[in-house]
Each structure stands twice: as structure tokens, then as C-alpha cells.
Structure 1
């Protein structure tokens, strides 16, 4: 870990932040490799119960029981179709949640407050959070005054959770009240 040469309330220097961004990379989660239709269908058919049904369909075909074969094939087809549709919807929901994540962050650099893309945050950045802000990265609160956070996106908790100095706030949660500074 590097050291910060600026006083704690001045934040990192632009040079330190750039060096960390280059060496550690951006504050982003790698996007999953998109799956095509064939890959999605293959994942559905690879399920052990579906494989068992396909074996049963082959056996009933060999025994000449075509009505049972047709029912089994219909069940496998409907199940695969529903599974693929649910997978596509889940991927769309995840993409929508990613778009809701904090796009920008208020950071102290060289002693000044600047707003920059959340992807440009680096370790030891001094982030300022106010009511209504989405937490742009997992942070430790250096100073917190009556700070509460809506963590429902992570925990399902319906009540804002109070946080004090030295507590952590998770990325994607929402600052509900007060003022805090975090690293």
C-alpha cells in the first residue's frame, strides 16, 4: 500500500490518484461475457433433471411409446423456453441496476472538492457523502455525524441503518441523512 503525502483533510494529490488508477485499475466490476441464445439453451439442457428427462425420452422412443415421448419433449421444451426467458430478464435487471450505481463521486483532491466519475476513485480517496448520495465504492467513514444509510438494495432491510466514525458503508447504498467523509 502506498502512503498519502497530503494531510488527511486535503485528500490525495492528482498525481497520487493517477498513479493508483494506472497501477490498480478503475473502480468497476468486470462485465460478464454475454451469452448467446445457443449458450443459454445449452445451460438449460445441462441441468441434471433435464438430462434425465431426455434419457427418458430416448428410452420411451425405443420402446415405441410415442405419446409419452411427446409429453416429455414438450415438458423439456417448455422448461427450456421459460428458463431462457428468465435468464434474459435477469440479465436485463442486472444491467438496469448497474446503470443505477453511483455514476459520479464528490472527492477531495489536492485540497479541493471535485466531482469525477466513480470509476476514477482509487484506494485512500477522501469521498464526501451527503444525504441522497449513492455510495460510489465500499468506504470506511472517517467522520460521520448522524449518518444513516439505506442498505435495502443489499440486505432488504426497510429501515435506514445508522453508521458512525470508522464504520463501513457499502457501494450502492444510499446516504439518507447527515454528512460524512470517508476513505
Structure 2
């Protein structure tokens, strides 16, 4: 075999493995598709009302994170250390330190998730939202955040593999006028 034939054979093998179908546990659309998961992650995982049970990262957000992995990249500029966290438990520690300081946190999605299929086992979504954070003491704060999530498909469905959240202050009108 000449070098061109070997190169072509290698290219074909790579393209076949890259085109492997996504398991049934990782649907492209619908309730367990990436867009819906991104929305749910925000609206059910992070939404907090006064009087809610104590925050529990594993219980409240465990559906979205793989707690067995040590190769994650999770960042939020709310983290006082501004650190990239490589495990879901380490990321959870950030929120155990912050969420109890809030009486409530309410979100409104200002830009629905945009989903890009990055490969058969990965999908990327981006979403923007406005939120109102009411501390236990003091006046509410208003922010707008953009979140970018790379999801990885595994036997238990889509899980967050890479996450980046950046927020900026906003005035109350931005939150009130969001849908």
C-alpha cells in the first residue's frame, strides 16, 4: 500500500469513529436535549425562594454534573477565588459558601439557549439571563449573566463538562423588562 492509500484509510477510520451515533441517553432535542437541560439547570437548579430547604448542590443540581470526574472545567465569576474547578464537588463548595447568604434568587432568560452540536459525544450551548439576588440583609442586586456550557454524553445522559459563567451588574429595569 502506498502512503496515500494508508492516509486515506486512516482518515476514513477516524471519520467513522467520529460519526458514531449519540447514545439514546443523549437526545439531540426534547426534555433531555441540551437546550432544555440548560434551561432547567438555571430555572430549577439555581432558582431559590425565601423559605426553601437549605441549598444542597448534589441534590439540587446533581442531574447536570458528573460527580465521578476529575477532568471538568467549571468557572463562575461569582467564585470569590475566581478559580477553575475540576470536580463538581469542588465547584459545589463555591455555592455552599454563597447561596446561604441569599434570601432568594430569581432568573429570567433573556436569550434562549443556542445549541451547537460539537461532535457525537459533545454539544455546546450558550444562554443569557437576568437575575435578581436578594441577600438575607440588604437590597436586591440585579445582574445579567452569559453562560456557556460544553456538555459531554455518557451512559447517564448529558452532563456538564466545561462551564463558564460571567455576570455584570444591571439595573432593576433590565430584570423587570426581561421576559
Pairwise TM-score range, normalised by the shorter structure: under 0.3
Judging by fraction of residues, say which structure has more strand.
2
TM-score by length of 1: 0.26
Judging by fraction of residues, say which structure has more helix.
1
TM-score by length of 2: 0.27
**Higher-Rg member (1/2):** 1
